[in-house]
Structure 1
Amino acid sequence: MVRDIAPLLDNKWSDPAVVVVDSNLNFAIPLLGGHHGANEISRKLAELGAVPVLTTATEVHGKPSVEGIADRFGCEVFNKESTIAVNCALLDRQVEVLEVKGPRIVIVDEDVSVLVRKKQAEAQDESAGNS
């Protein structure tokens, strides 16, 4: 499976969720995109009898992830590189989620994930295309 899909891969933010299932439907293993849908697909396959084999650290330890929090609030991660540090922090402690309504200017360190509501992100994309 890895060899078959490797040439098609670009990055974790645009690649599809990929789940590998053995021929007896014993195990459902998220191979790609665990935080981007593959873990959820594996859980759904559990309804058919497969054991979901989750390997993303936050899920293994029952902790939230930046990507999961973004989904729950209908957001996209603006500064995607921040998720590594923030997901690691989420493993050790609670990380505060703040909502800032604009207009505002927000200055953050590189270990702060910025989530933008999808509605706003889509409007910004459209206006950027018109500039």
Structure 2
Amino acid sequence: MAARIAEHLKADLLLYEKGVFEKAFRNYGAIVAVFATGIVVRDIAPLLDNKWSDPAVVVVDSNLNFAIPLLGGHHGANEIARKVSELGAVPVLTTATEVHGKPSVEGIADRLSCEIFNKESTVAVNCALLDQEIEVLEVKGPRIVVVDEDVSVLIRKRQETAGDGRRRQK
């Protein structure tokens, strides 16, 4: 099952061995674990740092019934669970904005190719997005912008041109 999922996601396949989650946390931005949720929770718990640097983690049962974004739902895990659902698994999404069909700061930033400057603001803004429409303002500089702590500030990612002429984000 793991090989089938890895092929579908065009991802590397790591077989379980002692320390595999530590290796994956160091080297990958997302992990799909074909394990029982309890095993994954116990193995990754000592590795957790914060939602901005930890990889997205999705747990899939060995019968491909469910794909559960365990960590980093707004940081790729929800999207991975949806992709795994193409193989038949039910994506079990629990992030509040997803459950209610609302946008999230992280999703808006991704859609606009932006980085979140003041990450601590996202909790308050995501909560507000559940109850109301939040205006997205674009301010072109040079300007000085003063915001309250419950305002998320997004900064456009710089575009660079690679040696082959293709543009890439930095």
SS at match of 2:69: strand
The count of corresponding residues between Structure 1 and Structure 2 is 120
The letter of the residue matching 1:65 is S
Higher relative contact order (CA 8 A, sep 6+): 1
Structure-2 residue corresponding to 1:89: 128
In the alignment, does 2:138 pair up with 1:99?
Answer: yes
Residue 6 of structure 1 and its aligned partner are, at CA, apart by 1.3
Question: Where has structure 1 moved over 4 Å in runs of 4 or more?
Answer: none
What is the CA deviation profile of residues 21-61 of structure 1, one whole-angstrom value per residue up to 9, with x for unaligned ones?
A: 01100000000000000000000011000000000000000
> CA–CA distance in 2 between the matches of 1:97 and 1:70?
10
In the alignment, does 2:81 pair up with 1:37?
Answer: no
Structure 1 stretches lacking a partner, 5+ long: 121-131
Structure-2 residue corresponding to 1:23: 62
Rg comparison, structure with higher value: 2
Structure-2 residue corresponding to 1:119: 158
Q: Specify which structure has the higher proportion of helix.
A: 1
Structure 2 stretches lacking a partner, 5+ long: 1-39, 160-170
Residue 7 of structure 1 and its aligned partner are, at CA, apart by 1.6
TM-score by length of 2: 0.69
Residue 92 of structure 1 and its aligned partner are, at CA, apart by 0.4
Q: Percent identity?
A: 88
